[in-house]
Chain A
Amino acid sequence: MWKKIFKKPEPVHDEFRLIYDMFYSRVYRDAFFITRDAHLAQDALQETFVKAYKHMDRLEDKERIGAWLSTIATRTAIDLLRKRKGTHEVLSDEVFLQNQDLEEVSLDPLDIVEGNIAKETLRQIMGELKAEYREVLLLHYIHELSIKEIVLLLDLNESTVKTRLYRGRKLIKEELTSNPKRQWIGGESC
């Protein structure tokens, strides 16, 4: 028992490198989904893997390592957003350019391809949502974690997770249907 308690919990270098290779893309995408900024996402990725290495002993179910890393990534990304800006939003040059592109694209009738515009529109709406809402939307709708799993991994109460999911979904639906510029994927289409 004593051996077990005091045994070195961290994975060895090669094991950890394997984890890094396997989950590099996922962690980056998760961090980008929250920050909407390439530089912040890269910083969040580094911090995520540092935290993961230090706390690998807390991972109870090795098969859920992806979900576990995703929650560390989203938490870390939210913390970075707060530190950098003091609020949930960061309008970096890249995001600014992306939004500018969107406006230009929207004005050009040749580029009005519903699918692309719709994706850009949704991207813009997601960028305006609170990072905490983005976090649960990501975990629930993209990684398909159950509410109970999110509760456990984020250490939130069930009610808070449900409320954030509900409000996030609600805000997206409202934006899609109420804003005439954004009715490509809402409004009256199928």
Chain B
Amino acid sequence: MLSEDHKWKEMLKEDYLHVQVPAEKKEDSWDSIVQELSNEPRKNRRASNKWMLVAAMLVFMVIGTILVQSNQTQAFNWIISMFETSNGNVTQINQSNTQESSTADDDVPDFTRIETESVQEYREEMSFEEAQEVTEFHLSQPTYLPKNYVLDDIIVLYEEDTAKQVEFHYIDESNNYISLQQIYQANDFADAKVIDNQDTEVETITLHGGEARMLIYEDDQIEMIWSTTHMNWVLEGTEDKQEMINIAEAIE
């Protein structure tokens, strides 16, 4: 028996595939595309490529790398290395539970040595009790939530049949939304997030005696990330900074 959630998603796919594609317009559209492309002033595009190259070389020569590092993060009695690397328009936030110091050279990965493997992932909605039962780590929720937020649903994310991540979604009457994610890290881990400096502010805040990063996006979304023993935490929402900190501090 299909769940309601599954049912509407299946219907959505069927509906998508059911749309009559106008085959009779295919050639007309192709002619229009070719016509439009043949009208493009090619010279300008080539010139702009050259200017882009010159600009990129200048940027490369002028911009230095600012490295801000702090290894002292201690949250929930666990040492987590968390540091930022800023370079021009982007900031990279790194999290790791290894104690090796990082230098600017170390930050450039050797792409030839990176191996990727595909991991089967799926998500399941369940109650708190069910979620706690299928996870091998303690689930925590905030004892404080602003205004009229209530727990809306809990999603468990499986990787290769093991529950690795749990998301709590809270919602208020205006459909404002707060999400808390607990991401289990059994062994050594390293995680990185790249931020666009043009539309995102990054602040370092104190949380539970340790450090967390607060990302403030241009659309007023706030994302807080921090780590504890074998766990990465992500709190997201549109409440103001202090409220987000209050929620994070109330997680038990």
Interface residues of A (CB under 8 A from B): 5-6, 13, 17, 20, 24-25, 28-29, 32-33, 38, 42, 45-46, 49-50, 53-54, 118-119, 122-123, 126, 137-138, 141-142, 146, 157-160, 162-163, 166-167, 169-173, 176, 185-186, 189-190
A166 near B7 with CB under 8 A, answer no
- Complex: how many Å from CA A157 to CA B196? 9
B14 contacts A119, CB within 8 Å? Answer: yes
* Known A119-B15, A173-B8, A185-B4; further 4 A-B contacts with Cβ < 8 A: A33-B19, A50-B37, A126-B12, A162-B236
Q: Does B43 contact A (CB under 8 A)?
A: no
Chain B residues, Cβ within 8 Å of A137 = 12
Residues of the B chain whose Cβ atoms lie less than 8 Å from the Cβ of A157: 196, 199-200, 215, 217, 219, 221, 223
B111 interfacial contact with A, CB 8 Å: no
11 chain-A/chain-B pairs, Cβ below 8 angstroms: A6-B50, A24-B21, A28-B22, A46-B32, A54-B45, A142-B13, A163-B221, A166-B179, A176-B4, A185-B8, A186-B4
Contacts of A42 in B (CB 8 A): 22, 25, 29
**Contact across chains for A24 and B26 when beta carbons are under 8 A apart:** yes
Tally A-B pairs: CB < 8 A: 113
Which listed residue (A46, A123, A159, A160) contacts B36, Cβ 8 A? A46
Q: A122 contacts which of B15, B199, B221 (Cβ < 8 Å)?
A: B15
**Set B1, B33, B169, B217: member contacting A159, Cβ < 8 A:** B217
Contact of A53 with B15 in the complex, beta carbons under 8 Å? no
Docked pose: A29 CA to B22 CA in angstroms: 10
Option from A54, A141, A167 in Cβ contact (under 8 Å) with B177: A167
Provide the residues of chain B in CB contact with A24, threshold 8 Å: 21, 26, 29
The answer to whether B14 and A173 have CB atoms under 8 Å apart is: no
